[in-house]
Amino acid sequence: MSDTNLTFRRYEDDEHEHVPWDEDVVSSGESYICPTYIQRTPPCQSACPSGHDIRGWLSIVRGLDKPPEGMAWEEYAFHRMTMSNPFPSIMGRVCPAPCQDGCNRNDVDEYVGINSIEQYIGDWARENDIKFGAPGADTGKKVAIIGGGPAGLAAAYFLRQLGHGATIFEEYKALGGMMRFGLPEYRVPRDILDQETQRILDLGVEVKLNTRVGTDVAVEDLEKEYDAIFWGVGCIKGKPLRVPGFDAPNAVDGMTFLRAFNDRSLQYLSGRILVIGGGDTAMDVVAASKRLGNIADIDDANRPENVLAGNVKHNEADAAKREDADCWLVYRRPIEKAPCTAHELEASIAEGVEIHDSLAPLEVMLDDQGRARALKVQPVDWSSGKMEESGEPFEIECTMIVGATGQTGDFTGIDGVANEWNQIDAEKNMQVKGKPGHFAGGDTVDPHLLTTAIGHASIAVEGIDQYMKGEEVDERPKVDAHHFEMLKELELKGLSPEEYTQGETWGTNTSKFAVHNFDDRARAEVIKSEELFRAHFEYEPMNKRSETDINASNVLANMQERFTGLEEEQAQKEAGRCMSCGMCFECDNCIIYCPQDAVFRVKKGEASMGRYVETDYFKCVGCHICKEVCPTGYIEMGLGFA
């Protein structure tokens, strides 16, 4: 970390030109421009695919935004948090947190541990049996949701908030989709998944399990019975590895492998397992393999491929014979270029997975029974920026190959919805192209993160709501997220502006029918690090979750979670590291440094989040000092007369 990150400098070394005169308007310490208060979107929220109001609920955790009387701050934060994402316990555990990559605090020391605080709040809400508020007033409209994964469940949640009926059609025997059948239990404990799912169903969501649309129910019948349809079918099929021989019985895709692992029909492996790929699915497969372990001598009927084909289930009693699994990850690029989450890769290496990178698969080599006996690979070099052969091809002996190089959808029996790649083309409001009344979200649109699927569902439900009302579908804002709403905050505190009456005096700062000198630009602007007064923030190390020591010596059958959640004091302390980018966090700098005493605190009974200070414009001389010392970039010089 460079010390210059903590120092405010108007000019850098070797700069000789004055800033443009139309920007530097201060003369002899005064100008005609006075401060106003500008809300902008923080980069954490902009980077979050579900558009979390992260700054908003962190303000609650740190004690800035007080809960209503009689409500715990955790519950207040939970309700703010779940306005955009109904799975805080799960997301706090498994989301790779692109919000943290975007955090402006990275330019001071380390990002704020957003997902660890989210986990704390989610777990507190579960332990205290906190429910969602009552659904919206019944509209008489109902929506068919196809798929009970994260996108489908989130869509049901958002629909019920608006008072629309929601029925989930799920092909399998349980809800959860990738959260249940794709992610291992040590990453998403099933009791947590069940509890966060049930909380959504308690809003009055109807569920039809073991019901496949296109087979058990015709799409045409759903179109007649429901006012709209949401497609959240996901990408549940793994793509086969595109090399000769991958149709061998012991060469399988990653999704098939993980489903058998997660439903516990697969209890052990046998021999060396090669996992092809570098994404998070590949990391889950290798980690699962190390937990399954290896039994060297098994009969043909109990070979893992027979379990994966659905022909047999392993006997749990045999698992007692397991030893450490021999698992290799084979990746065609340098491993540092792998798209997986860095921590998942580091954890897999610590657990004993062998990494063999810069190897391009050429062919699955078969034995005389047609089973895979080896993978032929080509060493490659990427130093030129493109893949070039480097050395002679060779074979890696194995007993199973798992291709984890991508997923696709399954639209068997369904016509006119998917494109040629078995995915759905959706418009910005998530309406299926060319199919009014059909909306989609999740992996079926864009295979990405769980939080991406939830963000899609939120946008789609807004579109569904407008469609069912017969309204024109609105343009999406430039910064598409669940923004802090000043008027809602004031309403919650009993401070709503008075109703405006036509003909009343306008252009005065004493009227009570407007929020004065406040401009919400959050839908158009993301505040950058250089717009903050970073010198205000001292170095503060992160309050990190403790990590369980899972390594090659104890990974076998180990289903412990890798992280232990924060305690209350730690969560509050970590939230205190948030720089509240684009929103006042009540530091008093503008009051302390104003030479004219023009900036003052709002009366206690009239204050709310974002309304902590005001300016007496009869005293203000436009010196710009308040703007310069505002840590969060909330003050902008914009009022005045030329």
pLDDT tens figures, 512-537: 777 778 899 999 999 999 999 999 99
Same domain, 221 and 259: no
Are 119 and 93 found together in one domain? yes
d(CA 154, CA 329): 34
Backbone angles phi, psi at 268, to 5 degrees: -165, 165
Asked if residue 219 and residue 343 are part of one domain, the reply reads: no
Determine the pLDDT at residue 319: 86
Is residue 290 a contact partner of residue 555, using CB atoms and an 8 Å limit?
A: yes
45, 52 contact by CB (below 8 A): yes
C-beta separation of 635 from 585 below 8 A: no
- Nearest in space to 571 (alpha carbons), one of 250, 236, 120: 120
Phi and psi angles of residue 280, each rounded to the nearest 5 degrees, phi first: -65, -30
Please report whether residue 607 resides in a domain: yes
The domain that holds 428 is classified in CATH as 3.50.50.60
Residues 291 and 350 in one domain: yes
In DSSP notation, 41-82 reads: B-HHHHH-TT---HHHHHHHHTTSSPPPTT--HHHHHHHHHT
Do 362 and 246 have their domain in common?
yes
Sign of CA dihedral 475, 478, 482, 484: negative
Instruction: Look at residue 18 in the predicted model and tell me its pLDDT.
Output: 67
Would you say residue 295 lies in a domain? yes
Q: Which of 480, 482, 417 is nearest to 232 (CA)?
A: 417
H-helix segments, 304-433: 304-308, 342-350
List phi, psi (to 5°) of 428: -60, -30
* Domain shared by 183 and 222, yes or no: yes
Residue 456 lies in a domain: yes
Among 405, 420, 443, give the residue marking a domain's end.
Answer: 405
Asked if 229 and 249 sit in the same domain, the reply is no
Residue 48 lies in a domain: no
Interaxial angle between packed helices 280-292 and 342-350, expressed in degrees from 0 to 180 and rounded to the nearest 10: 20
Same domain, 307 and 418: no
Which segments of 58-156 are extended strands (E)? 142-146
User: Are 181 and 229 found together in one domain?
Assistant: yes
Query: In the chain, which residues have pLDDT < 50?
Result: 1-4, 641-642
Which residues on adjacent β-strands are paired with residue 477?
A: none
- Residue where a domain terminates, one of 358, 378, 405: 405
- Distance from chain centroid for Cα 98: 7
- 362 and 255 co-located in one domain: yes
The range of the structural domain enclosing residue 270 comes to 240-405
Tokens 């903050």 belong to which residue? Answer: 532
The CATH number of residue 492's host domain is 3.30.70.20
Q: Is residue 73 part of a domain?
A: yes
Closest CA to 435 of 459, 408, 462, 463: 463
- Residue 449 in any domain: the answer is yes
Domains in the chain: how many in total? 4
Sequence-distant (6+) residues with CB within 8 A of 283 are 340, 341, 344, 345, 348
pTM of the model: 0.92
Q: Which of 441, 468, 495 is the last residue of a domain?
A: 468
Q: Looking at the structure, do residues 229 and 252 belong to the same domain, yes or no?
A: no
In a domain? residue 528: no
- Residue 137 in any domain: the answer is no
Whether 355 and 252 share a structural domain: yes
Give per-residue pLDDT as tens, 536-585: 999 999 999 999 999 999 999 999 999 999 999 999 999 999 999 999 99
